Structure 1
Amino acid sequence: MLTVILVPYLGILGIEAIRLLTVSKHMQQGIRINQFVMGGFGIILVLTAIGSFISKSATDSLVDSVTLLNHTYSVKFSLKEIEKNLVDAETGQRGFIITKKSDYLRAL
């Protein structure tokens, strides 16, 4: 008497078929529909959990990237302000050196 042999066939789209080979004189054995449905539900549940984990990881990475990008723009804005103040100070110093008027040394 031979028992049930499960032969999964993996194709391009995943598991395409499961064939049951049974040889028995008295009764055929196979996967009951309840076991098949529960197995399918379990596989779907696992795949959904994996997909959710990957999606959460990607979202967290995106949030971190946006935070760093906002910080970068903030730093660039601050540097532009510093550059503007330096140019104004150099202009005032140049005006004072040329004219010897202290009006050029006050803050603009």
Structure 2
Amino acid sequence: MLLSNIEYIPGYTITRHLGLVQGSTVRAKHAGRDLMASLKNIVGGELKGYTELLNESRQEAIERMQAQARSIGANAVINVRFSTSNIAAGASELLAYGTAVVLEKREGA
């Protein structure tokens, strides 16, 4: 499935617009990661545990969005965006959303 954060994919024509699709995941912080993050705040530097958590969350949200798009007959999702929000203390949602479409390759492209 093609994904794009722009409104079209060069070399393809949108033949059907299927609407909004989305995928989300809610993750809680791990106590060990939280402790290490607190220590990093003192000395500075990347919070690798949180970076991994966010990468895993993004990937899961994308996979869920793609599954929803496939279920309605799409072969691409355009204008993909991400959003995050706090759900509760220590838990956050990561949302991926975009427009499900059917694309056809242009002749000569």
User: Is the TM-score greater than 0.5?
Assistant: no
Q: 1 or 2 for the larger relative contact order (CA 8 Å, sep ≥6)? A: 2
Structure with more of its chain in strand, by fraction: 2
TM-score of the aligned structures, taking structure 2 as reference length: 0.30
TM-score, with structure 1 as normaliser: 0.30
